[in-house]
Structure 1
Amino acid sequence: MHVIATAGHVDHGKSTLVRALTGMEPDRWEEEHRRGLTIGLGFGWTTLANGEQVAFVDVPGHEKFVPTMLAGVGSVPAALLVVAADAGWMPQSSEHLSALDALGVRHGLLVISRADLADPEPARRQSLDIVARSGLGALSTVVVSAVTGQGLDQLRAEISQLVKALPAPDRQADVRLWVDRRFTLRGTGTVVTGTLAAGTVRVGDTLSIAATGQVGKVRGLHALGEPRDEVTATARVAVNLRGVDRADVRTGDALVAPDRWLTATSLDVAVPEADRLPGRLVLHLGSAAVPVQLRPLGKLAARLTLERPLPVRYGDRVLLRDPGRHQIAAGATVLAVDPAQFRRRGAAASRAADLTVLAAMSSGRPAAASELTLRQHGFRLAAELTRAGLPLAGEPISHWRADPARLAELVRRAPTEVSAWQAENPLSAGIAVDTLRQRLDVPDREILTELLRRAGLRVAEGVVRQEAETTLPPRVAEAVRAVRDALAASPFSAPDAPRLAELGLGNAELAAASRAGYLLRLPAGVVLLPDAPHIAARVLGGLPQPFGLSEARQALGTTRRVALPLLEFLDRLRITERLPDDRRRLREVDLDDSTIHA
């Protein structure tokens, strides 16, 4: 199926033309017939002589209904631009042409209608001249009269040629269906309609409302008035949703494939003469119309802040309308979705320079846009790049993609951050992993782990520490020296808690001395010299084997407070073996082996 919009100023004439082509009435409301004015979107379809099916979206022509017109043309690839022979080119025709031009519609036909009422040639010449200056260029022209039937066969033939020239839609694309109507049918539930520009929808699929994330299941599909099991782009489609009330979805919402789209509240766009545009505009995309704040970034780019989020991708063509002046302000192309905020002086100017280069590129823009996104953010999940419509760029780290320059800079900076922390906190075990991650502004531990590996830093027990020798503060070093001197004279006379407190050695100080290799800390607050296990093993080796706690205590010349944690430590080192009767025996170990340590 192909979908074509019928645009132009003539309202009742356009509807008559669609009716003549399809045999269907696009004006659905009594008020439209009474006023001779198209108010809502009208629809009709036909099968051409070559078997191609074509659906028409008849859009309003009156300036009061421009938002409705834009909702109708927002997803179509081609248009019939209809001009009445008895009226000629009208101001509203110019706005329709500007809209098609801004949205990037490059395929169409010029139809001079109502040829039974006036000479069509003046209107044809005038219209061709105006249209030729737009992106539609030199269009084929057909003169018709829906009343007499003049030119209708030629029009059908020209439409056949038009649809042959349309680019093939991507039927494997992620679904994004902009809702242009929604209603409830008794016994069926909520039904929404829209133009499916890309992708495929099947009965049983799960779709979510992009604005809210609410999920519904496709209960049924209709296209061209017939039930379908699946509908492929491009097509007019009606979707019956299970699990979604009519109040949950509105015109301008989008049904999307779950977890495949980013909903953006800010966009960077390429837009001509950005510095001359008003600050307040309305962005039109698909059937959505959202107020935006525009901030120029140079002459060729701007940042748009949206009043509500929309599912947007890189490369989307959006239309900006000035509602105050009732005119199309510009067409814009999305270059970045939810770009990083400007937090540093000069960030906006730097971004403007990058976007100006990107906007001016004629080839290679998608890869450059992806690299620019990484340069701005540093790191992005690969899935986020895909959801934003960007190719994967940068350096892969697990599920992430990294900007190579940012990665290299952080590898250089990590050791400096760790050293600075150790200098500020000499008694700490090291800088906590999450603290270092925050200091480096790294979004995920997986990335930090890779950074540390490349920087040659080690993580132990949740902290990062340089492998350099630890230097204790003078006060702590003096207290530790006093403990070591006492233990050198009596290796197992461990100082008790009051003595340690008197020396000013708390947990932090003792932990630092232990990491530095000056002291050995055992449970229950027992502090010995690092070689105490070697000395104890030699002493215990002189006892009759096996031996009990009491014999060990007496041989070591110490108390139960010290002997019990020391023996348990020797068990863990596999120097001693604990027997079922709680006695121990010395294992055969090399007591000169320097690897026996805490």
Structure 2
Amino acid sequence: MHVVATAGHVDHGKSTLVRALTGMEPDRLEEERRRGLTIELGYAWTVLPSGERLAFVDVPGHERFLGTMLAGVGPVPAVMFVVAADEGWMPQSEEHLVALEALGVRHCLLVVTRSDLADPAPAIERSRTRLTTALGGRARSRPDAVLGGEVGGVVAVAVSGRTGQGLPELRRALDGLVAGLPRPDPGAAVRLWIDRAFSVTGSGTVVTGTLPAGTVSVGDELLLAGEPVRVRGLESLKEARDTVSGVARVAVNLRGHDLPDRGQALVTPGGWTYTDLVDVRVQPVGALQEAAGLPRRLTVHVGSAAVTAEARPLGGRVVRLRLGRPVPLHLGDVLLLRDPGRDPGRDRSEVRVLAGALVLDVHPPALRRRGAARERAALLETALPKPAAPPAPAAPLTPAASSAPAATPGGPDVAFALRVHRLLRAADLRAMGVAPGGPGVAGEWYADPAYWEELGRRLVEVVREYGGGHPLEPGMPVEAARHELGLPDRRLVGALVRPPLALVGGRIVAGAAGLPASVRRAVERVRQELAARPFQAPEAGRLAELGLGPRELAAAVRAGSLLRVGEGIVLLPGADARAAELLRRLPQPFTVSQARRALDTTRRVAVPLLEHLDRAGLTQRLDEVHRRCG
């Protein structure tokens, strides 16, 4: 299935056109039929010549119902823009177009109605100028456009809903439109913006909306306003379904929930971030030229939701929005910013849609320092991936890969999120809509590569500083290092430990370089004395003469400068492996005496050394007397 919304000035024949295409009545309310005016959203569907099913969301054209229009267009990937031949481009045509520009709509079909009442050519000419100026390359062309080939990058069809003129061509053009739409991901996280809610006797609460991607099945648990709800039943185009995948019009029967309001959403648990504070990059449209010109109070539209907000410019085009209530968002979502006020004497032709806004952060930090706002804006701007170069003017335009700006080149991605936040859990990235593709740096943790390198360098510095202030302590405690680096998890510290650092018994040691100079000198004397006879461990008195008391010895062992094989018995690192190599040359099994002679040492050293080799698995004790090499 595909879903297309209508757009255009009031009374230009949108509902008549949908009725002619589908044979269904999209205007649901008695007042709508009485006044001949679409007030609420209407829905109808048909089968195209290709066999594809196409559902229409019919929106009101009157300026008083702009919010309802946006609720219908927001979740829909394509628009059928309607202009009457006998009236041409009108004020609400302009406002609807500005709204489409702000929302980043990329798939648009121009339909000029009432072609039996007036020559459609002037309306096509004016409309193509406005559409191509506002939407540019985002309105994708096809070579089979009606009325003289390609029309300004947009397929244009002239029709009459009354006589049926042009309807076959319109059906073919709609087939071409939906053929160029992106294929939604059935495995994507669900976000179904509710545009209607009602009660059905015997069934309870039913909500409807356009499902742009993902899959909903009977029995699924979803979140509604952050609370879990169960899917009791599904319908799509009046047919009961067990499973529905986007894009689709869907009605969901919910178990045990009161009627929600339009603008709430059913979402996959853990798949979205509920937030009332976002940093966005503003793209002014209409008369607005700079983000700094935004009024402080705005209405923010996303999906079918309309939420009050306060705007705080941070610098350049970056603005912080504080929303009136939390909504489920992803990085790369597009918001529409609208001026909620209107003076009594306001010119009805004045466009109230001010800008589109690309969501850059759904977890922005507090800005407490002087200059923090400008620094934040600069970080967000520089962290954004560079957009791809636009195609050459002569190159044919092709359908976009996605109707969501988040998927376009230059939109926020995993690398962007990590550069902005530096460290994030996998669950946070999924809720932001930028799921990681590979392993993290430590379990569920992911890090910005440059920040991770910086942390590694800082850890070496703080461990050495700690060792200088505590020369005889057994290394720096992991928790102290975590606190010093400002990290949220001890596992991150462990993952950062690499040479010249080592992790020993819950403490981080810096190798010989971290030892006091006096201890390093004493260790070097031991090395010299053991060079000729490596298994003649110094006596305790000799160690004391060198300045290696119990604490100094412990520090040298932790640093890997000496090997402790028993109480008061230290050798050089690697002496145990060398001893095992010599013992393998003996007839097996062998005794302590045989080992002592082979190693040219005393029983004082041989016994604890053999026990050390037993523990390391290099030798195996067979009885009270004999051993063999493992």
TM-score normalised over the length of structure 1: 0.72
Any conservation in 1 of the 2:385–2:411 contact (CA below 8 Å)? no
Listed one character per residue, the Cα deviations across residues 229-285 of structure 1 (whole Å, up to 9, x for unaligned) are 22222111111122x4124x3211221222222223333333333333333322222
Between 1:38-47 and 1:323-332, the stretch displaced more is: 323-332
2:245 to 232, 252, 261: 232
Q: In the aligned structure 2, how far is the partner of 1:46 from the partner of 1:76?
A: 17
Listed one character per residue, the Cα deviations across residues 82-124 of structure 1 (whole Å, up to 9, x for unaligned) are 1223433221111111111221222222222234444544433
AA matched with 2:240: P
AA matched with 2:6: T
Q: In the aligned structure 1, how far is the partner of 2:379 from the partner of 2:213?
A: 30
SS in 1 for 2:440: strand
Instruction: Write out aligned runs for 1:420-569 (5 A).
Output: 433-453=478-498, 456-458=501-503, 460=505
TM-superposed CA distance for 1:339, in Å, is 3.6
Any conservation in 1 of the 2:10–2:92 contact (CA below 8 Å)? no
Any conservation in 2 of the 1:110–1:140 contact (CA below 8 Å)? yes
Q: In the aligned structure 1, how far is the partner of 2:411 from the partner of 2:175?
A: 36
Between 1:411-420 and 1:363-372, the stretch displaced more is: 363-372
Any conservation in 2 of the 1:458–1:466 contact (CA below 8 Å)? no
Aligned residue number for residue 305 of structure 1: 322
1:143 to 137, 158, 161: 158
Between 1:422-431 and 1:119-128, the stretch displaced more is: 422-431
Aligned residue number for residue 277 of structure 2: 266
Go from structure 1 to structure 2 and tell me whether the alpha carbon gap of 1:157 and 1:393 turns closer, same or farther (over 3 Å shift).
closer
Go from structure 1 to structure 2 and tell me whether the alpha carbon gap of 1:190 and 1:434 turns closer, same or farther (over 3 Å shift).
farther
Whether 2:377 is the aligned partner of 1:352: answer yes
Go from structure 1 to structure 2 and tell me whether the alpha carbon gap of 1:138 and 1:10 turns closer, same or farther (over 3 Å shift).
farther
Aligned residue number for residue 183 of structure 2: 168
1:412 to 440, 457, 460: 457
TM-superposed CA distance for 1:369, in Å, is 4.4
Q: In the aligned structure 2, how far is the partner of 1:182 from the partner of 1:260?
A: 23
Q: In the aligned structure 2, how far is the partner of 1:250 from the partner of 1:138?
A: 39
Go from structure 1 to structure 2 and tell me whether the alpha carbon gap of 1:159 and 1:399 turns closer, same or farther (over 3 Å shift).
same
SS in 2 for 1:133: helix
Aligned residue number for residue 361 of structure 2: 336
Q: In the aligned structure 2, how far is the partner of 1:352 from the partner of 1:362?
A: 22
Q: In the aligned structure 2, how far is the partner of 1:262 from the partner of 1:426?
A: 47
Any conservation in 2 of the 1:274–1:297 contact (CA below 8 Å)? no
Go from structure 1 to structure 2 and tell me whether the alpha carbon gap of 1:367 and 1:448 turns closer, same or farther (over 3 Å shift).
farther
Any conservation in 2 of the 1:296–1:302 contact (CA below 8 Å)? yes
Aligned residue number for residue 258 of structure 2: 246
Whether 2:62 is the aligned partner of 1:62: answer yes
Aligned residue number for residue 396 of structure 1: 440
TM-superposed CA distance for 1:43, in Å, is 0.5
SS in 2 for 1:396: coil
Any conservation in 2 of the 1:12–1:38 contact (CA below 8 Å)? no
AA matched with 1:254: A
Q: In the aligned structure 2, how far is the partner of 1:466 from the partner of 1:346?
A: 38
SS in 1 for 2:249: strand
Structure 1: runs of 5 or more not aligned: 472-487, 489-512, 519-532, 535-588
Aligned residue number for residue 172 of structure 2: 157
TM-superposed CA distance for 1:401, in Å, is 1.1
Q: In the aligned structure 2, how far is the partner of 1:425 from the partner of 1:322?
A: 62
SS in 2 for 1:70: helix
Go from structure 1 to structure 2 and tell me whether the alpha carbon gap of 1:150 and 1:442 turns closer, same or farther (over 3 Å shift).
same
Whether 2:232 is the aligned partner of 1:219: answer yes
Aligned residue number for residue 388 of structure 2: 362
Between 1:67-76 and 1:335-344, the stretch displaced more is: 335-344
Aligned residue number for residue 497 of structure 1: none
Q: Taking CA–CA contacts closer than 8 Å with sequence separation of 6 or more, which of the two structures ends up with the larger relative contact order?
A: 2
Between 1:420-429 and 1:193-202, the stretch displaced more is: 420-429
Aligned residue number for residue 283 of structure 1: 300
TM-superposed CA distance for 1:450, in Å, is 1.6
Any conservation in 2 of the 1:193–1:237 contact (CA below 8 Å)? yes
Whether 2:40 is the aligned partner of 1:40: answer yes
SS in 2 for 1:246: coil
Q: In the aligned structure 1, how far is the partner of 2:412 from the partner of 2:109?
A: 35
Q: In the aligned structure 1, how far is the partner of 2:73 from the partner of 2:409?
A: 26
Any conservation in 2 of the 1:394–1:401 contact (CA below 8 Å)? no
TM-superposed CA distance for 1:429, in Å, is 7.9
TM-superposed CA distance for 1:12, in Å, is 7.5
Count of matched residue positions in the alignment of Structure 1 and Structure 2? 488
Give me the CA root mean square deviation: 3.6
AA matched with 1:382: A
Any conservation in 2 of the 1:394–1:403 contact (CA below 8 Å)? no
Q: In the aligned structure 2, how far is the partner of 1:372 from the partner of 1:139?
A: 34
SS in 2 for 1:267: strand
Any conservation in 2 of the 1:4–1:54 contact (CA below 8 Å)? yes
Go from structure 1 to structure 2 and tell me whether the alpha carbon gap of 1:150 and 1:436 turns closer, same or farther (over 3 Å shift).
same
TM-score normalised over the length of structure 2: 0.69
Structure 2: runs of 5 or more not aligned: 140-151, 284-289, 343-350, 390-407, 518-540, 542-548, 555-566, 569-601, 610-630
Listed one character per residue, the Cα deviations across residues 482-535 of structure 1 (whole Å, up to 9, x for unaligned) are xxxxxx9xxxxxxxxxxxxxxxxxxxxxxxx986789xxxxxxxxxxxxxx99x
SS in 1 for 2:252: strand
Q: In the aligned structure 1, how far is the partner of 2:332 from the partner of 2:196?
A: 26
SS in 1 for 2:188: coil
Any conservation in 2 of the 1:4–1:79 contact (CA below 8 Å)? yes
Whether 2:267 is the aligned partner of 1:256: answer yes
Any conservation in 1 of the 2:315–2:373 contact (CA below 8 Å)? no
Q: In the aligned structure 1, how far is the partner of 2:199 from the partner of 2:331?
A: 34
TM-superposed CA distance for 1:360, in Å, is 5.3
Aligned-pair identity in percent equals 51
Computing the radius of gyration from Cα coordinates, the structure with the larger value is: 1
Whether 2:3 is the aligned partner of 1:3: answer yes
Any conservation in 2 of the 1:10–1:83 contact (CA below 8 Å)? no
Any conservation in 1 of the 2:270–2:427 contact (CA below 8 Å)? no
AA matched with 1:264: T
SS in 2 for 1:362: coil
AA matched with 2:492: I
Go from structure 1 to structure 2 and tell me whether the alpha carbon gap of 1:241 and 1:55 turns closer, same or farther (over 3 Å shift).
same
Q: In the aligned structure 2, how far is the partner of 1:11 from the partner of 1:368?
A: 40
Any conservation in 2 of the 1:206–1:218 contact (CA below 8 Å)? yes
